[in-house]
Structure 1
Amino acid sequence: MIRPVRHIAAMTPYALAELNAPIGKRLVSLSQNESLQPPSPLAIAAAADALASAQLYPDPDWTALRIALGTTHDIAPSDILCGNGSMELIASLTLAFANPQNAVLAPANAYPFFKTAAQLAQARFDTAPEKHGQVSVDALLAAVRADTRIVFVANPGNPTGTRISRPELLRLREGLRADIMLVIDEAYGEFADHLDEPMFDLVKRGDVVVLRTFSKAYGLAGMRVGWGVFPAQIAEHVRKVMNPNNISVAGQAAASAALKDHAYMRATCLRTATERDRFISDLRAAGFDVADSFTNFALIRFGNADAAKCADNALRAEGVFLRAQGGAGLPDCLRVTIGDPDDMNLTAALLKRWKEGENT
């Protein structure tokens, strides 16, 4: 029998969304935090044009994309690395800077892939408690151990949707040892950019990495394009474990073009936020516990894990799929992606009907 290495055999596969609607029901997928709008027409056209040269390998240095990102965010292109989604960058960072003698630290209700990345590197994965879905800087600092090497913080958070301020992130960084890397995952950063608290400048310290993605606000989840700003001494080693041809020709072209249509991206964020806030208000009026969100999703808290499971089953029976959050330490919660208004109205109506049935 051919056996895998021990640490891989011990891992649980990363949980993917279940999307099998009952026979006769239309699938309403609100489980993967995809954009409620397609990509910019400029991105679609650029991707189509790029297929004419698909016989060639993609640019391993992402030259045009880095230049476009640098221009958009006033960042030196040489400080940028691009990945096959930000997941590749998270995994590569951990593989390059953590090992079985180290620990990776994250908030208790953080993005579950942080744990997966730690397991790949055979590093211990530690967590710090959150307060009502809010990252606690004091708890993170208290959880640091002598072998801690990386601290991951998603801001805004997934699946909580909450965020911490720039001053708090600065306090976290100042409280960490110099040999600990702080990785700020801003996958939903564009939905909070209006607050004007950029973090890219922290990278100049040499001990901070800031990640972003085109999957959310830009509607390019299917293209798998992530990026980040890295200190040179960190980027040098991360590139060693990355696939040298990681982003397709079409993906690079689409992302570069999307950056030229800033108005379209901002309109997508505004439309999403408007629909999100309307949906949250609707559910709150019906007695549901829904946190404020700075993302393209909302987190619904139920009384307990059984209630969340029951509500989830009721929705799935009608073809509506949200995302259970047991893997993020929130078994009493369901996360709902903000989608088409008609789908959000349907979801709210089904949840209200379920709640009424529970109370009769």
Structure 2
Amino acid sequence: MIRAVDHVRQMAAYALADLGGEGTISLAQNESAFAASPKAVAAGQAVLAQMPLYPDPEWTELRAAIARVHGLAAKNILCGAGSMELIGCLIRAFAGPGDRVLGTDYGYAYAASATAQAQADYVKARERELTVSVDDILSSVVPETRIVFVCNPGNPTGTLIPNSEILRLREGLPADVLLVVDQAYGEFADAEHDPAGIFALVARGDTVVMRTLSKAYGLAGARAGWGCFPPQIAGEVRKLLNPNNVSIPSQAMAAAAMRDQAYMREVVAKTAAIRDRFAEGCRALGLEVPQSHTNFVLMRFASPEQVQAADAALRSEQLLMRGMGGYGLNDCLRATICSQQIMDRALTVLKGVLT
């Protein structure tokens, strides 16, 4: 019998969203409610004749576009097939057997999967009121801690801590602990929380900041993510990245989307307006909905049984939200923001269940 190595056999597969049957509308994967920039689509189409070639391994055009928008040095930017690739390679590069990766109660679940691949231990610091607590993270650090992984804004909670708290966290961590700040939803918070101070932490040599084009830029299908890395950290991570990892069309689309900041900001504003209207409607029904700084909302019901009833009613109308049992939130559903019409339909279903 052919057997996988022990630590792989003991791992659980990363849990993907249930997408339902044919005709189901998914509100489960935090995809954009709006199409990508027309300029991005046109850029992807324009390079299709180049498909016999390998992609640019240096992501030259994409790095330049990111650097220009965020005022960063292009040489400090690494690009991946989604930020997931970068997260996985980073953890494998800097954690191993006997080491700890410290996340939070409701942090991005893929960090735990990547830690298991590295045969390290994933530990969670407590969140308070569904929000990251810097004090609880700092009190959870032990000599074995190698990486602290923080999502801000958080997924699946949508909550946010101010940049000053991220800076306080970095100051409080030992110098030999790598801080990873996952800002997959950062564009939804940038208007009120200037990210420049967080990116500036990279110059210390002990902090990495991750972003993606899957959310605000509407390019989840392109699989294009990026991070800002200290040079010595980037050098180690590049050893584990797949060469030519981001396809030619994906690089072209991502670069064009990055250059079209006006379109992205318009998408963020429209998404936020639909999100806030839906959240208020849910609160009017008695649901607990924390303030979201993302393209989704988390809804807390009175009981797990009420969640099951709501889920069944939504499915009967071919609407599918994400159950949060995997995060220990059996009394919650998470709803990706879709068009206003779809969110109104979902709210009508929830009203029927709750009243």
Fold shared by both chains (TM-score > 0.5): yes
Looking at structure 2, the residues matched to 305 and 180 of structure 1 have their Cα atoms a distance apart, in angstroms, of 38
Aligned to 1:265: 264
1:155 corresponds to 2:149: no
Aligned to 1:187: 184
Looking at structure 2, the residues matched to 150 and 310 of structure 1 have their Cα atoms a distance apart, in angstroms, of 40
Aligned to 1:4: 4
Looking at structure 2, the residues matched to 325 and 207 of structure 1 have their Cα atoms a distance apart, in angstroms, of 32
Aligned to 1:76: 73
> Which amino acid letter does the alignment assign opposite residue 20 of structure 2?
N
Looking at structure 1, the residues matched to 298 and 161 of structure 2 have their Cα atoms a distance apart, in angstroms, of 17
Aligned to 1:287: 286
Please list the CA deviations of residues 79-130 of structure 1 after superposition, one character each: whole Å capped at 9, or x if unmatched.
Answer: 1000000000100000000001200000111111110011010100100111
1:230 corresponds to 2:232: no
Taking a change above 3 Å as real, the CA distance of residues 42 and 296 of structure 1, as seen in their structure-2 partners, is same
Q: Secondary structure at the match of 2:131?
A: coil
Looking at structure 2, the residues matched to 178 and 305 of structure 1 have their Cα atoms a distance apart, in angstroms, of 42
Q: Is the 8 A contact 2:127 2:136 kept in 1?
A: yes
Q: How high is the TM-score relative to the length of structure 1?
A: 0.96
Please list the CA deviations of residues 239-288 of structure 1 after superposition, one character each: whole Å capped at 9, or x if unmatched.
Answer: 00110111000000000111221111000000000000000011111211
How many percent identity over aligned positions? 52
Aligned to 2:92: 95
Q: Is the 8 A contact 1:11 1:119 kept in 2?
A: yes
Q: C-alpha displacement at 1:146, in angstroms? A: 1.0
> Which amino acid letter does the alignment assign opposite residue 181 of structure 1?
L
Looking at structure 2, the residues matched to 145 and 311 of structure 1 have their Cα atoms a distance apart, in angstroms, of 42
Q: C-alpha displacement at 1:323, in angstroms? A: 0.5
Q: Secondary structure at the match of 1:195?
A: coil
1:336 corresponds to 2:335: yes
Aligned to 1:305: 304
> Which amino acid letter does the alignment assign opposite residue 100 of structure 2?
A
Deviates more, 1:91-100 or 1:197-206: 197-206
Looking at structure 2, the residues matched to 11 and 353 of structure 1 have their Cα atoms a distance apart, in angstroms, of 40
Looking at structure 2, the residues matched to 109 and 307 of structure 1 have their Cα atoms a distance apart, in angstroms, of 21
Looking at structure 1, the residues matched to 327 and 244 of structure 2 have their Cα atoms a distance apart, in angstroms, of 32
RMSD: 1.0
Aligned to 2:24: 27
Q: Is the 8 A contact 2:163 2:193 kept in 1?
A: no
1:67 corresponds to 2:61: no
Aligned to 1:243: 242
Looking at structure 1, the residues matched to 20 and 346 of structure 2 have their Cα atoms a distance apart, in angstroms, of 17
1:55 corresponds to 2:52: yes
> Which amino acid letter does the alignment assign opposite residue 130 of structure 1?
E
Q: Is the 8 A contact 1:111 1:328 kept in 2?
A: no
> Which amino acid letter does the alignment assign opposite residue 184 of structure 2?
A
Looking at structure 1, the residues matched to 112 and 83 of structure 2 have their Cα atoms a distance apart, in angstroms, of 15
Q: Secondary structure at the match of 1:127?
A: strand
Q: C-alpha displacement at 1:317, in angstroms? A: 2.1
Please list the CA deviations of residues 288-346 of structure 1 after superposition, one character each: whole Å capped at 9, or x if unmatched.
Answer: 11111000000000123232223212211221110011222212111000001111001
Looking at structure 2, the residues matched to 306 and 147 of structure 1 have their Cα atoms a distance apart, in angstroms, of 40
> Which amino acid letter does the alignment assign opposite residue 258 of structure 1?
A
Correspondence for 1:168 among 165, 170, 176: 165
Aligned to 2:352: 353
Q: Secondary structure at the match of 1:280?
A: helix
> Which amino acid letter does the alignment assign opposite residue 13 of structure 1?
A
Looking at structure 1, the residues matched to 261 and 221 of structure 2 have their Cα atoms a distance apart, in angstroms, of 20
Aligned to 1:140: 137
Q: How high is the TM-score relative to the length of structure 2?
A: 0.98
Unaligned runs of 5+ in 2: none
Looking at structure 2, the residues matched to 117 and 321 of structure 1 have their Cα atoms a distance apart, in angstroms, of 27
Looking at structure 2, the residues matched to 100 and 14 of structure 1 have their Cα atoms a distance apart, in angstroms, of 20
1:124 corresponds to 2:114: no
Q: C-alpha displacement at 1:50, in angstroms? A: 1.2
> Which amino acid letter does the alignment assign opposite residue 335 of structure 2?
V
> Which amino acid letter does the alignment assign opposite residue 222 of structure 1?
G
Runs of 4+ in 1 over 4 A off after TM superposition: none
Looking at structure 2, the residues matched to 19 and 260 of structure 1 have their Cα atoms a distance apart, in angstroms, of 32
Q: Secondary structure at the match of 2:218?
A: coil
> Which amino acid letter does the alignment assign opposite residue 240 of structure 2?
V
Q: Is the 8 A contact 2:162 2:193 kept in 1?
A: no
